[in-house]
Structure 1
Amino acid sequence: MPEDSVFVGADREDDGPLAWLGDCLVSTAEDEAARRQAALFAERLPWLTAAQRAEIERAFAADWAAASRAIDARVSARSAELVIEYATRYRFLRTRCLLAVAAGIGVVSGVLGVALLVAR
């Protein structure tokens, strides 16, 4: 993980087989949900022939899966934007905190130096 990275999982270039497996499982679950929704939709149309029903289910499932993948892509892109935004904010706050600590140390050193001079 790069030194700048402040969030776990912020760099996903080298996630390996486990990430691939996870992506496959999510994709399979989304496809199954699309098929279930297509079947539920087609059940509301009892006048369809078997061929029409199969075509409606296929088209509905394809549209559902495409919409789901589009939403996933938008969420993923927004997530990447937020990681960058939060990392930038974290670095700013970390720098500000370190400067405050350094200023505090400087003030304490100055007060102690003056106190030692007065004590002599």
Structure 2
Amino acid sequence: MPGADGTAMDRAINEIEGFLLWEAEKDRARIRAEAFCAGLPWLTDSQRREVELHYCRDQRDATWAYLERIAVRSATLRTEYEGVYRALRRRLITVFLSGTVAVAALVTVAVAGMAVR
């Protein structure tokens, strides 16, 4: 089954991408924490490390909450768009079938008109 392999591969790629993005976010949080602490020169080394750890933890928690909100919103939008797509598809099929019936009726009338002559 080629589709099943593709789906598994897609999931694996998504997981790897998610892992790499999360690691990059942790690095950004660490860099921001170091920059924040650089503006507090009176901190001792142990205080600086504690502030950096707290800052990173807080930043990761905020990022995680943000990502969860985005995931929920994405799922909501997907459901909404799939509903709109199904409705549009039904309309298009209805218009196509109506047009086909109309053309068939016109052809039938034209053929019948020619047969009468």
Quick check: which has more Rg, 1 or 2? 2
By how many angstroms is 1:13 displaced? Answer: 8.5
By how many angstroms is 1:18 displaced? Answer: 2.5
User: Percent identity, aligned pairs only?
Assistant: 33
More helix by share: 2
Amino acid at match of 1:94: R
Taking structure 2 as the reference length, the TM-score comes to 0.85
- Answer 1 or 2: higher relative contact order, Cα 8 Å, separation at least 6: 1
Taking structure 1 as the reference length, the TM-score comes to 0.83
Q: Which runs of 5+ in 2 are unaligned?
A: 1-6
Number of the residue aligned with 2:44: 49
Amino acid at match of 2:87: F
1:38 aligns with 2:33: yes
Q: Which runs of 5+ in 1 are unaligned?
A: 1-11
1:19 aligns with 2:2: no
1:74 aligned to 52, 69, 73, which one? Answer: 69
Flag the 1:65–1:23 CA change in 2: closer, same or farther, 3 A.
same
Q: Distance in 2 between matches of 1:23 and 1:71?
A: 14
1:119 aligns with 2:92: no
Structure 2 counterparts to residues 82-97 of structure 1, below 5 A:
82-97=77-92
1:63 aligns with 2:48: no
Q: Distance in 1 between matches of 2:92 and 2:8?
A: 31
RMSD (Å) for aligned C-alpha atoms: 1.7
Amino acid at match of 1:26: L
Deviates more, 1:27-36 or 1:16-25: 16-25
Q: Distance in 2 between matches of 1:16 and 1:100?
A: 38
